[in-house]
């Protein structure tokens, strides 16, 4: 079959979505302490490597094809993707893996500064296999939540065009569960050093995420008309969310912040993800404003409830994901003059379907993440030691630092535990060169 414009667009979109994971690495890396920046970025990068392998071997097979009790696809149906060689289905497989990669990478922000890299590297392939792939099958692959599925057939098919439930709600719930399992960072809520160390890096990451999100939302567009609506909505919602977040900061804190602008953009992108092809541009603006305000307010929840979600994955991805998914019950456009959300006279049917899909995603992710996280935590351990946390996870897990000044450690200050993690000869050579 000849290569068509549609094929090319999906391949370009896949590349855009893949770029989002390094963009996330910048976004998260800038939000951590300086002595945890590299580890935070590595948690995103290792997700690319591990999920890429899982996807080729069994991940893709689990998201489609013949289902096992409508829960997941047969892992051996296209094992190794051998059966896809010579078909255009390989393009779709390539697009799909980029979603799986960034979904699990999103979770890492909740456990910044304190997770063992080896434990995270074990968690990634297991979580993608037991949570992401089954949920993707249930929603997009003909499983429980699809139109012909046991749940979807009973309550109606939920709308999730690009991943409100599959990506953001599942990742947000997993982030909350892991944050509880690992516990709080030392000095949580009191140590000013836990504030973001590099805001320009955060804003660069947000810009890359916004750029890549046009492929994230638009890659599955089936017509030029649908693609145009998706593009405008993916522009409008994060723009409105950024404004909503900044206005909230202005009234609550007295001034808007750069971090708030970057976070608002991401909140709007998350909220429009499930709805990008099914709401009007005005609806996208309204959804973005609501998401920006709600997510800005949700940041404080972790302090009231006492869980340490380091980089506010719950406040941004879970809250915005639920907001965008449920909003479709109110503002979804009618299809061929019928159906639609409550505001278009479609009744409560779509809202019920959306609510049930949220409930399924939350339950699956919470239960399976708890089982996986606790199993790792109680065997090899998921959290670094207190001494390593003081020295910095970059040194303890990677024997590197993000910033070097005069042969000293991060920010030009000597790390008291550096010699435990770094090759003394390398340090001596570095100091010799700098002198």
Query: 188 near 308, Cβ under 8 Å?
Result: yes
Bridge partner list, 72: 68
pLDDT per position as a tens digit, 228-247: 999 999 999 999 999 999 99
Of residues 410, 408, 412, the one with CA closest to residue 428: 408
pLDDT per position as a tens digit, 84-110: 999 999 999 999 999 999 999 999 999
Statement: residue 434 has pLDDT above 90: no
Q: pLDDT class for 200, splitting at 50, 70, 90?
A: very high
- What mean pLDDT, rounded, does the chain reach? 92
Query: 240 near 285, Cβ under 8 Å?
Result: yes
Output the six-digit token pair for 244. 């909503």
- Sign of the alpha-carbon torsion through 230, 236, 239, 240: negative
Output the six-digit token pair for 70. 């409508």
Bridge partner list, 335: 338
Query: 231 near 218, Cβ under 8 Å?
Result: yes
pLDDT per position as a tens digit, 281-298: 999 999 999 999 999 999
pLDDT in the model for residue 339: 86
pLDDT in the model for residue 145: 96
DSSP single-letter state for residue 355: H
pLDDT in the model for residue 416: 45
pLDDT in the model for residue 405: 65
Statement: residue 428 has pLDDT above 50: no
Statement: residue 117 has pLDDT above 60: yes
Output the six-digit token pair for 397. 């897990």
Q: Which of 49-53, 339-343, 416-420 has the lowest mean pLDDT?
A: 416-420
- Whose tokens are 């916004």? That residue is 210
DSSP single-letter state for residue 44: H
């Amino acid at each position: 079959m000849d290569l068509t414009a549609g094929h090319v667009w999906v391949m370009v979109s896949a590349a855009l979505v893949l770029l989002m994971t390094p963009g996330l690495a910048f976004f998260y890396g800038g939000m951590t302490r300086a002595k945890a920046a590299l580890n935070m970025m590595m948690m995103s990068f290792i997700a690319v490597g591990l999920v890429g392998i899982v996807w080729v071997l069994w991940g893709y097979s689990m998201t489609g094809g013949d289902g096992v009790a409508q829960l997941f696809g047969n892992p051996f149906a296209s094992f190794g993707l051998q059966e896809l060689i010579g078909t255009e289905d390989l393009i779709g497989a390539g697009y799909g893996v980029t979603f799986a990669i960034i979904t699990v990478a999103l979770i890492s922000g909740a456990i910044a500064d304190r997770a063992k890299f080896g434990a995270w590297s074990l968690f990634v392939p297991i979580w993608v296999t037991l949570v992401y792939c089954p949920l993707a099958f249930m929603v997009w692959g003909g499983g429980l939540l699809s139109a012909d599925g046991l749940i979807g057939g009973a309550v109606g098919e939920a709308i999730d065009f690009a991943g409100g439930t599959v990506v953001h709600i599942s990742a947000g719930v997993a982030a909350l569960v892991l944050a509880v399992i690992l516990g709080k960072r030392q000095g949580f809520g009191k140590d000013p050093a836990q504030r973001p160390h590099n805001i320009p890096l955060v804003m660069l990451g947000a810009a890359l995420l916004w750029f890549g999100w046009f492929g994230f939302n638009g890659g599955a567009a089936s017509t030029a008309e649908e693609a145009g609506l998706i593009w405008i909505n993916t522009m409008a919602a994060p723009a409105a969310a950024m404004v909503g977040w900044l206005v909230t900061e202005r009234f609550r804190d007295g001034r808007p912040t750069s971090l708030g602008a970057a976070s608002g953009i991401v909140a709007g992108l998350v909220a429009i993800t499930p709805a990008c092809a099914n709401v009007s541009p005005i609806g996208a603006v309204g959804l973005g404003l609501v998401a920006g305000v709600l997510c800005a307010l949700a940041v404080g929840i972790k302090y009231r409830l006492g869980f340490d979600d380091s980089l506010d994955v719950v406040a941004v991805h879970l809250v915005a994901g639920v907001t965008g998914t449920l909003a479709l019950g109110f503002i979804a456009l009618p299809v061929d003059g019928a159906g639609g959300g409550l505001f278009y006279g479609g009744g409560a049917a779509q809202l019920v379907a959306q609510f049930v899909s949220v409930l399924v995603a939350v339950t699956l992710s919470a239960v399976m993440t708890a089982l996986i996280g606790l199993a790792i935590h109680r065997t090899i351990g998921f959290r670094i030691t207190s001494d390593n946390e003081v020295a910095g996870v970059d040194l303890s897990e990677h024997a590197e630092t993000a910033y070097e000044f005069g042969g000293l450690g991060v920010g030009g200050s000597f790390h008291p535990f550096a010699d435990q993690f770094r090759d003394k000869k390398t340090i001596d050579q570095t100091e010799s060169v700098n002198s």
